[in-house]
Amino acid sequence: MRIEHERDVAAFFDMDKQIATLQKTIKKTICMPKYLVPFLHAGRMVHVVAGTRDFGWAVLVNFHRKTNVDDSTQMVYILDVFMGFKSDSIDENHSLARLQPIAEGSYASWDVISMALDCVEEISAVRLKLPQKLDSNTKGVVEQMIKSVKQRFSKIPLLHPVNDMRITEPAFVHAVEKVAELEQRSQEHPLRKNRDFELIKKQYLAKEEKKRELKGLEEELRKAQSVLQLDELSHRKRLLRRLEYSDKSDIITEKVGSALTLSSKIFIAKVMEVL
């Protein structure tokens, strides 16, 4: 597949990769208890992502901590979050591991789900005033509050990690500034002004996916070839033992000297070197 001005297109999407890498580093720091816990107020809106499952914006109800069973000197923080999910994905334990994000056309349910700190993808500056008691009569109200905020803002305002959360580690500040710079460059990139931008993007991402698939297949082929070579060498080893040209320790025996030509000796020696 040929893409027009592919070098420029690749440079543009390379910025996205850099941004994604830096954002992972930023998120890891933000989710450290010493930085995140002071902002875990009831009503705080949080963006929930569990693995590859993006549940979107939800609201923090409460949090609690307990001793880490693997390290008694460390604490584990558990968040109770009111969030939406597919109705048919919930089990009796309300386990986050089983839940699936709301899909278009599917029935949605909203309830309080427990999760770890690292499920917080983003933390908003927005705080909702929650009812004193969250029950079947008030859950629908909170659901509508969340939806209203999403409708009001094209992009829900976040707590700034440096200005609001006061994370001032030099490397972290540099990463935040670099992301801001790259995002601005990405938005101002001439490629975005191309009327065929979405088509070019689709073609480039499809080509990159094909490259990843090809690389995966090549790796599988390499592993298969290695297995075949090992299998062949194993057969050779057994043959040498049956002919008593090598012992149980795979050392060539004196019998080789009287039974084989010079070229055969060299061949067997090479085989044993590989083995």
Give pLDDT, residue 192: 82
User: What total of structural domains would you count in the chain?
Assistant: 1
Q: Which residues of the chain have pLDDT under 50?
A: 262
105 domain residue, yes or no: no
State which residues form the domain around 248.
244-274
179 domain residue, yes or no: no
Give pLDDT, residue 144: 95
Give pLDDT, residue 1: 61
43 domain residue, yes or no: no
204 domain residue, yes or no: no
Torsion angle (degrees, nearest 10) of CA 19, 180, 115, 143: -120
Question: How would you classify residue 135: left for phi > 0, otherwise alpha for psi between -120 and 50, otherwise beta?
Answer: beta
90 domain residue, yes or no: no
Q: Are 119 and 48 in contact (CB under 8 A)?
A: yes
253 domain residue, yes or no: yes
Give pLDDT, residue 90: 85
101 domain residue, yes or no: no
Give pLDDT, residue 262: 47
Task: Indicate the pTM of the whole model.
Answer: 0.70
